[in-house]
Amino acid sequence: MRHLATLAAVLALSAAASAETPEEAQTKARATIETKTVTMKFENAPLGDVVKWLKDETGLDIVPMPRVAQAIKDGTITVDVNLHEVNLATALRLTLANLGLTYDVRLGKLFILAEDDARETVTQIWDIRSLATAIRDFAGPALGLPEPDDGGTI
Protein backbone atom coordinates (compact mmCIF):
# COMPACT_ATOMS: atom_id res chain seq x y z
CA MET A 1 0.00 0.00 0.00
CA ARG A 2 2.89 2.32 0.83
CA HIS A 3 4.28 1.75 -2.69
CA LEU A 4 1.00 2.77 -4.28
CA ALA A 5 0.90 5.99 -2.26
CA THR A 6 4.45 6.81 -3.32
CA LEU A 7 3.60 6.05 -6.94
CA ALA A 8 0.49 8.24 -6.80
CA ALA A 9 2.42 11.17 -5.31
CA VAL A 10 5.18 10.94 -7.92
CA LEU A 11 2.65 10.73 -10.75
CA ALA A 12 0.63 13.66 -9.42
CA LEU A 13 3.68 15.91 -9.13
CA SER A 14 5.02 15.01 -12.53
CA ALA A 15 1.64 15.39 -14.24
CA ALA A 16 1.35 18.93 -12.92
CA ALA A 17 4.79 19.84 -14.30
CA SER A 18 4.25 18.27 -17.73
CA ALA A 19 2.42 19.92 -20.63
CA GLU A 20 1.63 16.66 -22.43
CA THR A 21 -1.29 14.46 -21.49
CA PRO A 22 -0.65 11.24 -19.55
CA GLU A 23 -1.68 9.19 -22.57
CA GLU A 24 0.80 11.01 -24.81
CA ALA A 25 3.57 10.59 -22.26
CA GLN A 26 2.74 6.88 -21.94
CA THR A 27 2.81 6.36 -25.71
CA LYS A 28 6.08 8.26 -26.04
CA ALA A 29 7.79 6.32 -23.25
CA ARG A 30 6.63 2.93 -24.57
CA ALA A 31 7.80 3.85 -28.08
CA THR A 32 11.24 4.80 -26.73
CA ILE A 33 11.53 1.54 -24.82
CA GLU A 34 10.45 -0.58 -27.78
CA THR A 35 12.44 1.17 -30.54
CA LYS A 36 15.65 2.52 -28.99
CA THR A 37 18.73 0.35 -29.21
CA VAL A 38 21.51 0.58 -26.65
CA THR A 39 24.95 -0.82 -26.01
CA MET A 40 25.61 -1.41 -22.33
CA LYS A 41 28.89 -2.48 -20.76
CA PHE A 42 29.09 -2.31 -16.99
CA GLU A 43 31.34 -4.34 -14.73
CA ASN A 44 30.56 -4.31 -11.02
CA ALA A 45 28.91 -0.88 -11.45
CA PRO A 46 26.56 0.47 -8.78
CA LEU A 47 22.91 0.36 -9.85
CA GLY A 48 22.69 4.13 -9.31
CA ASP A 49 25.32 4.71 -12.00
CA VAL A 50 23.44 2.46 -14.44
CA VAL A 51 20.13 4.26 -13.76
CA LYS A 52 21.81 7.64 -14.30
CA TRP A 53 23.36 6.41 -17.56
CA LEU A 54 19.96 5.11 -18.73
CA LYS A 55 18.33 8.47 -17.95
CA ASP A 56 21.02 10.33 -19.90
CA GLU A 57 21.02 7.87 -22.81
CA THR A 58 17.26 7.52 -23.27
CA GLY A 59 15.80 10.76 -21.94
CA LEU A 60 13.26 8.74 -19.97
CA ASP A 61 12.13 9.77 -16.52
CA ILE A 62 13.26 6.78 -14.43
CA VAL A 63 11.85 6.45 -10.92
CA PRO A 64 13.24 3.81 -8.56
CA MET A 65 10.58 2.64 -6.10
CA PRO A 66 11.39 2.90 -2.36
CA ARG A 67 13.14 -0.45 -1.85
CA VAL A 68 15.22 0.02 -4.99
CA ALA A 69 15.97 3.66 -4.11
CA GLN A 70 17.24 2.53 -0.71
CA ALA A 71 19.46 -0.11 -2.33
CA ILE A 72 20.82 2.54 -4.71
CA LYS A 73 21.51 4.86 -1.79
CA ASP A 74 23.25 2.09 0.17
CA GLY A 75 25.19 0.93 -2.90
CA THR A 76 24.28 -2.70 -2.21
CA ILE A 77 23.33 -3.65 -5.79
CA THR A 78 25.96 -3.87 -8.50
CA VAL A 79 25.44 -4.53 -12.20
CA ASP A 80 27.45 -6.77 -14.52
CA VAL A 81 26.16 -6.54 -18.07
CA ASN A 82 27.64 -6.55 -21.57
CA LEU A 83 25.06 -6.01 -24.31
CA HIS A 84 25.70 -4.72 -27.82
CA GLU A 85 23.02 -2.99 -29.92
CA VAL A 86 19.96 -4.49 -28.23
CA ASN A 87 16.46 -3.17 -27.91
CA LEU A 88 16.05 -1.11 -24.70
CA ALA A 89 13.17 -3.31 -23.51
CA THR A 90 15.38 -6.39 -23.82
CA ALA A 91 18.29 -4.64 -22.12
CA LEU A 92 16.07 -3.61 -19.21
CA ARG A 93 14.60 -7.11 -18.83
CA LEU A 94 18.00 -8.83 -18.92
CA THR A 95 19.73 -6.34 -16.64
CA LEU A 96 16.99 -6.09 -14.03
CA ALA A 97 16.01 -9.77 -13.98
CA ASN A 98 19.52 -10.75 -12.85
CA LEU A 99 19.06 -8.43 -9.86
CA GLY A 100 15.57 -9.60 -8.87
CA LEU A 101 14.10 -6.38 -10.24
CA THR A 102 11.66 -5.47 -12.99
CA TYR A 103 10.25 -2.35 -14.59
CA ASP A 104 6.84 -0.91 -15.30
CA VAL A 105 5.83 2.04 -17.46
CA ARG A 106 3.03 4.23 -16.14
CA LEU A 107 2.03 7.68 -17.36
CA GLY A 108 5.27 8.12 -19.25
CA LYS A 109 7.59 7.17 -16.40
CA LEU A 110 9.75 4.06 -16.13
CA PHE A 111 9.49 2.66 -12.61
CA ILE A 112 12.13 0.23 -11.35
CA LEU A 113 10.82 -2.05 -8.64
CA ALA A 114 11.51 -5.35 -6.93
CA GLU A 115 9.83 -8.35 -8.55
CA ASP A 116 8.08 -9.01 -5.21
CA ASP A 117 6.51 -5.55 -5.31
CA ALA A 118 5.39 -6.05 -8.89
CA ARG A 119 3.52 -9.20 -7.88
CA GLU A 120 1.72 -7.37 -5.06
CA THR A 121 -0.17 -5.15 -7.49
CA VAL A 122 -3.50 -6.76 -8.28
CA THR A 123 -6.29 -4.98 -10.09
CA GLN A 124 -9.77 -6.27 -9.41
CA ILE A 125 -12.95 -4.87 -10.91
CA TRP A 126 -16.22 -5.29 -9.05
CA ASP A 127 -19.64 -4.53 -10.49
CA ILE A 128 -21.31 -2.33 -7.88
CA ARG A 129 -24.07 -0.87 -10.01
CA SER A 130 -26.67 -2.70 -7.93
CA LEU A 131 -25.41 -0.91 -4.80
CA ALA A 132 -25.76 2.50 -6.38
CA THR A 133 -29.50 2.26 -7.15
CA ALA A 134 -32.45 2.28 -4.76
CA ILE A 135 -34.36 -0.94 -4.24
CA ARG A 136 -37.94 -0.62 -5.51
CA ASP A 137 -40.81 -1.37 -3.16
CA PHE A 138 -43.34 -3.59 -4.94
CA ALA A 139 -46.89 -3.93 -3.63
CA GLY A 140 -47.61 -7.46 -2.47
CA PRO A 141 -50.60 -9.31 -1.01
CA ALA A 142 -51.75 -8.45 2.49
CA LEU A 143 -50.67 -11.12 4.94
CA GLY A 144 -51.96 -11.61 8.43
CA LEU A 145 -52.96 -14.17 11.07
CA PRO A 146 -56.60 -15.17 11.49
CA GLU A 147 -58.38 -13.90 14.60
CA PRO A 148 -58.98 -16.55 17.27
CA ASP A 149 -62.62 -17.81 17.89
CA ASP A 150 -64.49 -17.21 21.02
CA GLY A 151 -63.41 -20.69 22.13
CA GLY A 152 -59.77 -19.75 22.22
CA THR A 153 -58.66 -22.05 19.39
CA ILE A 154 -57.37 -21.02 16.09
Query: Which domain range does residue 86 map to?
Result: 21-121
Return the pLDDT at 152: 54
CATH number at residue 43: 3.55.50.30
Predicted TM-score of the model (pTM): 0.63
149 part of a folded domain: no
DSSP string, the chain: -HHHHHHHHHHHHHHHH-SS-HHHHHHHHHHHHHH-EEEEEEEEEEHHHHHHHHHHHH--EEEE-HHHHHHHHHT--EEEEEEEEEEHHHHHHHHHHTTTEEEEEETTEEEEEEHHHHHH--------GGGSSPPP--------PPPP-TTS--
Is residue 116 a part of any domain in this protein?
Answer: yes
Query: Residue 119 — very low, low, confident or very high, per pLDDT cuts 50/70/90?
Result: low
- pLDDT tens-digit series, residues 90-111: 999 999 998 999 999 888 899 9
Report if residue 141 sits inside a domain.
no
Is 129 part of any domain?
no
State pLDDT tens for residues 2-55: 555 555 555 555 555 557 788 888 889 999 999 999 999 999 999 999 999 999
Structural domains of the chain, count:
1
